[in-house]
Amino acid sequence: MKKLGLLLLAVLTCLVCLAQPEIKFENTTYDFGKIKEEGGKVTGKFIFTNVGNEPLELTNVRPGCGCTAANYSKGAIAPGEQGYIEATYNPYNRPGAFNKNIRVTTNEPRFTENEKATPHMIFIKGEVIKRPPTEFEKAGYTKSAGMLRIKEPNVAHNLLNTETSIDTFYVRNFWNKPVSFKLEKAQDFISEIYRNFGAELMPGQEGFFVLKYDASKRNGFGQLKDAIAFQTNDSIEPIKRVHYANNIQEDFSKLSAKQLKNAPVCVIPTDSVGIGNIQKNMSRTQTIQVTNTGKSPLIIRSLSTSVPMFSATANPMTIPAGGSAEITITLKAPNRPSNQNATLDIITNDPANPVRTIKLTAKIL
């Protein structure tokens, strides 16, 4: 009798082990064939069946770049029932063949027992037929929007804080009526110094204007982003902007030999800072010390991180000769696991070494 009971228990245990959901796709690849780039988004549908003997749930559907899969079966799918995943692809500005994957995880034991298990993979593929060029593309005006366009609205320079840049920008009216063009607000360090047209551009007219960027008036150091705006009557995008990404460094060329001898000296004992392991959505700080071994005050001009989730502050910003300061580096972790690599630029008035770049690393769990 005892042996019978043990046998029944073993049978029940096996049945419980065998009771599980299981997904099976009718097809794991959807071929769109040839589609037009200008034809708009296309959607393919994947049908699957729960061939297991427990309710099935999709726990994560992650599409590859250029593909979306926001529409899929939500909730439990009973044994023998079907579900779906819709995959949408936007062909605009993506001419040529494509092959994108969608990673699918479920409540099947392989995933519930191992979070690193390889997901199910389904694929969409096809070929995008390139559209004819627009009038903007034919004229080379592809980096702005609207009917009045600036040909190259983005500029970048390496400048000393005593220098200026003079840049010429071409603009063209693609509309069938005149478009006004007026500087919205002048800035101390960016000004319009010339244009070869009046207050308006006529239909089809191309002109140019000239801007002056004065780094001595910018009052900043390091990688700086600035913009200046023009007001127009363009019905699509009335505000036109020119964007600057300038790297401004201090000019030490006029320092005398005596001034250089008595200059501040920035000493930082490390070139890298590891924040370590941190849970997602949490914050953590690390500190490094900056010492001035020179003979005059060391001024921390700027602290700039390459990734926004990292930030840095210094206390104090001016360090007397022989003194030290602490730089506090803060990481605000994102909401997904990842390995993070960034840099911190520490810009000072040390003429021998004005920019120190510190490598930052962290692992988000």
pLDDT at 277: 94
pLDDT value of position 66: 73
CATH number assigned to the domain covering 262-364:
2.60.40.10
Cβ atoms 339, 322 nearer than 8 A: no
Please name which of 196, 195, 197, 206 lies closest in space to residue 135, comparing C-alpha atoms. Answer: 206
Please, are residues 25 and 48 in contact by the beta-carbon 8 Å criterion? yes
Is it true that 20-129 and 262-364 share their CATH fold?
Answer: yes
Q: 233 is written with which tokens?
A: 């009557």
* pLDDT number for residue 78: 96
Q: What is the 3-state secondary structure (H, E, C) of the chain?
A: CHHHHHHHHHHHHHHHHHCCCCEEECCCEEEEEEEEHHHCCEEEEEEEEECCCCCECEEEEEECCCEEEEEECCCCECCCCEEEEEEEECCCCCCEEEEEEEEEEECCHHHHCCCCCCCEEEEEEEEEECCCCCHHHHHCCCCCCCCEEECCCEEEEEEECCCEEEEEEEEEECCCCCEEEEECCCCCCEEEEEECCCCEECCCCEEEEEEEEEHHHHCCCEEEEEEEEEEECCCCCCEEEEEEEEEEECCCCCCCHHHHHCCCCEECCCCEEEEEEECCCCEEEEEEEEEECCCCCEEEEEEEECCCCEEEEEECCEECCCCEEEEEEEEECCCCCEEEEEEEEEEECCCCCCEEEEEEEEEEC
> Which stretches in the chain have pLDDT values below 70?
1-18
Residues 87 and 104 sit within 8 Å (Cβ to Cβ): no
Cα 250 to Cα 46, 83, 104, 303, 356: the distances in Å are 59, 63, 53, 14, 14
What is the per-residue pLDDT across 85-133, written as a single tens digit (0 to 9) for each? 999 999 998 999 999 999 999 999 999 888 889 999 999 999 999 999 9
Rg (CA), the chain: 31
Options 3.40.30.10, 2.60.40.10, 1.20.1050.10, 3.60.40.10; CATH for 20-129 is: 2.60.40.10
Query: Where do the domains of the chain lie?
Result: 20-129, 136-249, 262-364
Query: How many CB atoms lie under 10 A from the CB of residue 292?
Result: 23
pLDDT at 18: 66
Q: Using CA atoms, how far apart are residues 289 and 316, in angstroms rounded to an integer? A: 11
pLDDT score recorded for residue 8: 46
Q: What are phi and psi of 209, to 5 degrees?
A: -135, 160
Which residues does 195 contact at the CB level (< 8 Å), separation at least 6? Answer: 207, 208, 209, 210
The rounded distance, in Å, linking the Cα atoms of 68 and 214 is: 45
pTM above 0.85, yes or no: no
Looking at the domain 136-249, which fold is it? Immunoglobulin-like (2.60.40)
Torsion-angle region of 5 (φ positive above 0: left; ψ -120 to 50: alpha; else: beta): alpha
